[in-house]
Structure 1
Amino acid sequence: MRKTLMFLLVLCIAAPYAYAAEKNYTDSVTGMEFVLVKGGCFKMGDTYGDRRPEEDKDEVPVHEVCVDDVYMGKYEVTVAEFRKFVNDTGYRTDAEKDAGGYSGCMTIDFDDNKWDWRGWANWKNPNKYQSNRNDHPVSCISWNDAKAFTKWLSSKTGKGYRLPTEAEWEYAARAGTQTRNYWGNSKDDACRYANVRDLTSFEGGRTWKEAHDCKDGYAFVAPVGQFRPNDFGLYDMMGNVWEWCEDWFNKDYYSNSPKWNPTGPTSGEKRIARGGSWIARPLYLRASHRGDDEPVLRDANDGFRVVLPSR
């Protein structure tokens, strides 16, 4: 009897962490799939050497960083998954509240050929050129919105969901590589792996600068998982939508970053976003590129991905 009670006690204690032993994991509330990214050490920063020397000083010095195991979303958070959060809580995004004194969301309108604030744009309708499908990555999302989602999911499940740190994100995106991107150094191989600014983007008379010399088949956002994954089994780590990270941004942080599990500066004015988007030119489609924006700001190419510490 005593042995039985002890066995049951161990089971009860271990139950909340049962997912930690699994290679992959599916969240029961949203149905989101997670991939176990085994921790390790890597060279973080512009290892390839093609940054703009003056504008992209924040990508150096290249430095060694080590991160722990983490479960990372196999895909970017989708419209359907975000809708479950909204339906459960009644949450209104920063775009819907015109937060920060900005109307709606920043998006493209080819009537005036400008990327500008549009009062009608939000996560339900991020642009007027395609319907917003359930399997699209949710966009027009501020950092505040992304954090609200992770807090909700944590409260629903009792687990510590959050955004990835910048170091976790780059480690996972590189997937063991030190090249320009996880598919290699060629800009024009991007279309097999990512939804980017490409020749498809010019169809219908649209005009862009500095596109990738290939066709990915999508002029705007693509459903998640349409392109080849990286070697960790993660999809769309480059392109489709920018992905918010936990960290505050500081252009000089790499000079003082700790080696083990860096979490960024303790304060700041802007948060990190990584990975580029469907509208990103080659310069931004690099594993080392650091995007940044105010936590309240939102664009039609801003989304996020969720992580869960493995223990």
Structure 2
Amino acid sequence: MRALTGITICAATVLLMATGGCAKQRITWDLNGRLMSLKLNSPFPLELKRIEPGTFTMGSTPEAGARFSIPEDEKPSHEVRIDRPYFIAVHETTNEHFRRFDPKHDSTAALASLPEAMAADAGLEDLNADRNPVVGVSLAEAEAYCKWLSEECGLTVRLPTEAEWEFACRGGSDSAYCWGDARAESTKFANLAEAGTAEKLGGVEDPAPRDDGKRLTARVASFQANANGLYDMHGNVAEWCEDVYSANYNNAAPDGSANQTGSDNELHVVRGGSWASGMDHARSAARDALPASTEDAMTGFRIVVEMPDSVEEE
């Protein structure tokens, strides 16, 4: 049997029950510790993949600049060393899971953030579907969910740092997207804005070359996963990160820790682009910034669980 910081792991069934008032939440691991599953009293588990420590080049390199117009906030490219393993959610946080925390949350309230031309689209009700990503959540609401889940499960749950997000998204790649540089492959991996959606939104820079069949958000895992087994790292919803936005990487931490100072402390980083984004804004290195109070139909989040300090084998 293995003991893990107040949690017991039974190797046969790999069932964990936290001891600090969270018996109602079941946590399971696979036998090699690579996958964590939080049941959340739901038939659809919240799964997380373990990301191993490593070094990668964060931001856009001069070589990337030869293929894309690279904004200043992706420069300079720099080496980041992630020293500790961490778990990151396989899916973006869904409506079903968020409503375990806030039963009254209604993602369709975020429709008010969309142009009127989108209102006639079929499928608007999908914004509230159980297994679609939650939207209409501010940074504070996303952080409150993480705090609640930490207390429920006896683990440290938080938003990813910007570096953790990009490291997990790349999955060992140094290309524009997790799948490579081929734009035509986007419909296999990402829910992005194609020409029709771009027109209804009043124009989107560099729309996707093919229609992916989704008007707004898509059910999580509707597209292929990246090399780390993570879904929707490009598109679907843009994802809140811990970091305060900075205009460049001149003072970026080499260990990938979150930036807490920036040109405007009211702006926070979001990553990955959304169903309303074109190809450029969905690149692995692409950065966007939003006021922390933003509650729109394009922004959600996924969680990180920190690796416990001690793991004992028996």
TM value normalised by structure 1: 0.80
Matched-pair contact (CA < 8 Å) for 1:58–1:251: yes
Please show how residues 59-78 of structure 1 align to structure 2 within 5 Å. 59-67=74-82, 68-78=84-94
Find out whether 1:176 has 2:172 as its counterpart: yes
Partner of 1:15: 7
Partner of 1:120: none
Matched-pair contact (CA < 8 Å) for 1:242–1:302: yes
- Larger deviation, residues 162-171 vs 18-27: 18-27
Partner of 1:40: 54
The percentage of counterpart residues that share the same residue type is 30
Letter in 2 for 1:306: I
Whole-angstrom distance in 2 between the partners of 1:242 and 1:153: 21
Partner of 2:21: none
Structure 2 gap segments, 5+ residues each: 10-15, 17-28, 309-314
Partner of 1:121: none
The CA deviation at 1:285 is: 1.4
Whole-angstrom distance in 2 between the partners of 1:285 and 1:299: 17
Please show how residues 219-298 of structure 1 align to structure 2 within 5 Å. 219-252=215-248, 254-266=249-261, 268-298=265-295
Partner of 1:201: 197
The CA deviation at 1:206 is: 7.7
Letter in 2 for 1:309: E
Structure 1 gap segments, 5+ residues each: 1-6, 97-102, 114-126
Q: Which runs of 4+ in 1 moved over 6 A?
A: 92-96
Partner of 1:165: 161
Whole-angstrom distance in 1 between the partners of 2:108 and 2:81: 36
The CA deviation at 1:13 is: 5.0
Matched-pair contact (CA < 8 Å) for 2:59–2:78: yes
The CA deviation at 1:242 is: 0.3
Matched-pair contact (CA < 8 Å) for 1:66–1:260: yes
Partner of 1:109: 116
Matched-pair contact (CA < 8 Å) for 1:69–1:310: yes
The CA deviation at 1:130 is: 3.3
Whole-angstrom distance in 1 between the partners of 2:202 and 2:261: 41
Instruction: Deviation per CA, 1:97-136: give whole Å up to 9, x if none.
Output: xxxxxx98522321799xxxxxxxxxxxxx9833321111
Whole-angstrom distance in 2 between the partners of 1:226 and 1:128: 15
Question: Which protein is richer in helix relative to its size?
Answer: 1
Report the 3-state secondary structure (helix = DSSP H, G, I; strand = E; otherwise coil) of the residue aligned with 1:82.
Answer: helix
Change (3 A) 1:216 1:93: closer
Q: 1:25 aligns with which of 36, 52, 74?
A: 36
Letter in 1 for 2:254: K
Letter in 1 for 2:180: G
Whole-angstrom distance in 1 between the partners of 2:132 and 2:118: 24
The CA deviation at 1:52 is: 3.5
Find out whether 1:211 has 2:226 as its counterpart: no
The CA deviation at 1:308 is: 0.3
Letter in 1 for 2:49: V
Report the 3-state secondary structure (helix = DSSP H, G, I; strand = E; otherwise coil) of the residue aligned with 2:115.
Answer: strand
Report the 3-state secondary structure (helix = DSSP H, G, I; strand = E; otherwise coil) of the residue aligned with 2:114.
Answer: strand
Whole-angstrom distance in 2 between the partners of 1:105 and 1:207: 15
Partner of 2:125: 130
The CA deviation at 1:200 is: 6.0
The CA deviation at 1:188 is: 2.4
Report the 3-state secondary structure (helix = DSSP H, G, I; strand = E; otherwise coil) of the residue aligned with 1:255.
Answer: coil
Question: Number of residue pairs matched?
Answer: 277
Report the 3-state secondary structure (helix = DSSP H, G, I; strand = E; otherwise coil) of the residue aligned with 2:242.
Answer: strand
Partner of 1:52: 69
TM value normalised by structure 2: 0.79
Whole-angstrom distance in 2 between the partners of 1:258 and 1:302: 26
Letter in 2 for 1:52: S
Instruction: Deviation per CA, 1:31-85: give whole Å up to 9, x if none.
Output: 31111111211000013225535xx201000000011211000000001111111
The CA deviation at 1:207 is: 6.3
